[in-house]
Amino acid sequence: MLLNYQIYRLLGTAMNSTSPVGAGEVMEQFGISKSAAYLLIEDCLGWLEENVTSVRLSVENKMIYFKTSEERLSVSKRIGQIRPKDYHFSAEERLLYSLILLVRSPKVPIEGMTEVFQISRNTGRADQKRMEKLLSEFGLVLQKQKSGFHIAGKEYDSYRLCLWLSSYLLNCLYTEQTAILFSLYSLKEEHVEEICRKLSKLMKGYSLEYNREGGYLFAISFLLITERIKYNGAIKPDEIPNYDQTVGYHEKLFLVLKHAKLLESYVSPDLYRRDFYAQGMRECFGRILFYTGVETGSDVAPIRVAQDDLSFYAHHIIKKYESYAGLRFEDANALNQSIVISLKTVILRRKYQFKVCNALASEIKKYYSHILEITKNALEGTPYFEHVITEEDAIPFAVNFLGWMYKGKPITSQTLHILIVCSANIGTSLLLKGQIASLYPGAVIHTAVIGSDYSNYAEYIDFIVSTVPLVTNDIPLVVVNTFLTAHDKYQLERMGGNKQGEDANYQRFVKDFIFMAKDFMPSYDIKVLLQRLNSYFMTNKGKIIYETGGKPMLGDLITKERIQLVDQVDGWEAAIRLASKPLEEDASVEPSYTEAMIDSVKRLGPYIVLAPGIALPHARPESGVRAMSMALLKVSEPVYFTEEKYANLFFVLASTDGTSHLDALRELSIIFSDHSAMEKFMNSQTRDELYELIR
């Protein structure tokens, strides 16, 4: 069986998970139906059986679970050996693979493609069309000659394509697990790591920040471009648009590139000895270095934009957003800095004409389109955005705003300490931080960058959350997706145990609110409304207070006066009326409620008989409940609703809202989960005895 994209992703999920991955998790992560999930799991198990002999998984369980690190290692190793002939490429992957091939080689023979992918001529033609369309977005053309295909157009445009291809590989296709990049696409991991290392070390030397993601993005673009330079030659300055007028990169970056000696290591010496070639290459790589830094959140250098100050514009964008969204951000200075970086990203994108794939773009468009709309409106009128603001432009800003909106309440006291480790991409760490804060309100959240020394935190951190696997030296670790799936939350909850946030009252309110609101709106709207409420309480410094300590228990609702015992009654209607009488008498319910209860049985049948002998008559609160209450009637002779359904015990339930009686019901459920309970009830002869049973 060939490896394919889905199986690869599933393997990645399983390798990062501490518990078995089953159909439910697969359905959610891949957004597929249950049967599709089972098929995928089956395929994955099949592939493992054929390819990784040291892993023995039970096919019956229909779950993927790697118990030992040796198993994970063997899977990683096998993935590292994957070649195109062992892989089934999806249409998307074919497109990418072909483009990468075309970019790196002067000519690609026609059969080369169809053979690698094992596709028909028609599919090949369709692929070709898609390639041409994509290339045209960069001003490039696919030329077909007898010797094969090749890309024609301006050299600078092909460099732009290389940057885009790298971002697509890293951000869109193989986000969680990059291992396959190095085996399938013949990129050398050592080279990428070496470039990243050199750059970050040199950057640090100049007190500049440059994160791992920027490094990877740069490194892969760099490697693709240098392969191109080998057969196409280097780029000359006059081939670079805006060469004289560019914003330019800081002297420090120039020195970083120089000292990294990257050109020397990867490009033929006679090319860069010729001065204007060297200048051209340095300008291009300098731009890409600068851009990849800013695009991934490192502020590598100031942009001098005439006299204007970007943070002045950032301030206005934030204010406009606040007024459209109806909220106020805490810590606006930090937000301002992030917005400034986003501004730089978009400005540079337009100036250099660079294009990069954003990993979060599709999720944001799908789940937060309303936030995107507000963001676009807030951006309007900003200088540099005189043209139409596209969704692509708005996305980095939307990510910032989302992250800040998720931020929880101020911390009142210390409960859980959670460390979030990210690769310093502003988007990921903000979003993750916000979601963790909502899951654990009141928890203290620390952040660290990948590669730092986590042992410093070992003293007081409860657990670490990360989007990539880490070596943590005994501190418990949970690996999650940027947008937490239900499985991620389940894993996180297992970690956190039962520690709740400080404001238990607010939590209780939220829980009850969700329960009641479910009847009226879809869960997504409820979530949004709760976010608004949360902001509202925060900005108005509001607090929820419950007068009574907790919720009423069964014994509070069924008082002794509300308990009755009789030998027999004339039919179920009489039984309900009798059972309800004490509640009518103490004015907890109106007579209309009793009638409503009887009515519902007439309409729906005896669904109120929950188990042989036990009935729970009830109706909606609006039908006449004055005060929350319950009553109990015991009839020695069984009362029949139909031939089969009968009851001896009638528990009348009158609730005022959707939720306050839930604890009492839970108690009831626990009482009757005991098999001997029914007998005890039937043997009771007095009110007191019955009351003892329910207290």
Is residue 665 a contact point for another protein (CB under 8 A)?
yes
In 3D space, the residue among 319, 323, 359 whose CA is nearest the CA of residue 335 turns out to be 319
647: number of Cβ within 10 Å: 26
For the window 480-519, what string marks contact with another protein as x by the rule CB under 8 A? ------xx--x---------------------------xx
CA gyration radius, the chain: 33
CB of 468 to another protein, least distance (A): 23
Count of residues of this chain found to bind another protein when the rule CB under 8 A is applied:
41
Which residues in the 516-535 window bind another protein by CB under 8 A? 518-519
Give the ranges where 206-331 is alpha helix by DSSP (H): 212-232, 251-260, 262-266, 269-273, 275-295, 310-325
Among residues 184, 479, 616, 635, which is the contact residue for another protein, using CB under 8 A? 616
Taking each helix axis from N to C end, the angle separating 155-167 and 91-104, rounded to the nearest 10 degrees, works out to 140
Is residue 604 a contact point for another protein (CB under 8 A)?
yes
Is residue 541 a contact point for another protein (CB under 8 A)?
no
Is residue 658 a contact point for another protein (CB under 8 A)?
yes
> Of the ranges 182-190, 365-373, 388-396, 600-608, which one interacts with another protein (CB under 8 A)?
600-608
663 φ, ψ (degrees, to nearest 5): -65, -40
Is residue 607 a contact point for another protein (CB under 8 A)?
yes
Which residues in the 73-92 window bind another protein by CB under 8 A? none
> Of the ranges 74-82, 334-342, 473-481, 617-625, which one interacts with another protein (CB under 8 A)?
617-625
> Of the ranges 133-141, 226-234, 277-285, 663-671, which one interacts with another protein (CB under 8 A)?
663-671
Is residue 606 a contact point for another protein (CB under 8 A)?
yes
Q: Which is nearer to another protein, 211 or 655 (CB)?
A: 655
CB of 587 to another protein, least distance (A): 21
Is residue 610 a contact point for another protein (CB under 8 A)?
yes
CB of 605 to another protein, least distance (A): 3
CB of 604 to another protein, least distance (A): 5
The set of long-range contacts for 264-269, using a CB threshold of 8 Å and a minimum separation of 24, is 266/191, 266/222, 266/223, 266/226, 267/226, 267/229, 267/230, 267/234, 268/229, 268/230
Give the ranges where 562-685 is alpha helix by DSSP (H): 572-585, 591-604, 662-672, 677-683
Among residues 1, 2, 5, 22, which is the contact residue for another protein, using CB under 8 A? 22
Is residue 672 a contact point for another protein (CB under 8 A)?
yes
Residue 448 structure tokens = 């660290």
Is residue 662 a contact point for another protein (CB under 8 A)?
yes
CB of 382 to another protein, least distance (A): 41
Among residues 1, 5, 24, 581, which is the contact residue for another protein, using CB under 8 A? 24
Q: Which is nearer to another protein, 57 or 653 (CB)?
A: 653
**In 3-state terms, the chain is what percent helix, strand and coil (to 5)?**
55, 10, 35
C-alpha 557/C-alpha 695 separation (Å) is 10
Q: Decide if 131 contacts 93 (C-beta within 8 A).
A: no
> Of the ranges 1-9, 209-217, 235-243, 660-668, which one interacts with another protein (CB under 8 A)?
660-668
Instruction: Give the bridge partners for 164, in sequence order.
Output: none
- Please return the burial class of 187, using the count of CB atoms within 10 Å of its CB with bins 0-12, 13-18 and 19+: buried
C-alpha 650/C-alpha 109 separation (Å) is 82
Q: Which is nearer to another protein, 229 or 616 (CB)?
A: 616
Residue 434 structure tokens = 């916000």
Is residue 653 a contact point for another protein (CB under 8 A)?
yes
In 3D space, the residue among 52, 81, 77 whose CA is nearest the CA of residue 64 turns out to be 52
Taking each helix axis from N to C end, the angle separating 391-406 and 523-539, rounded to the nearest 10 degrees, works out to 60
CB of 35 to another protein, least distance (A): 10
> Of the ranges 60-68, 116-124, 348-356, 380-388, which one interacts with another protein (CB under 8 A)?
60-68
Residue 561 structure tokens = 């006066």
Cα separation values, 127 from 150, 261, 501, Å: 15, 39, 53
Is residue 306 a contact point for another protein (CB under 8 A)?
no
Q: Which is nearer to another protein, 61 or 118 (CB)?
A: 61
Among residues 109, 241, 605, 638, which is the contact residue for another protein, using CB under 8 A? 605
Residues that bind another protein (CB under 8 A): 22-25, 27, 34, 61-63, 486-487, 490, 518-519, 600, 604-612, 614, 616, 618-620, 653, 655, 658, 661-662, 665-666, 668-669, 672-673, 675
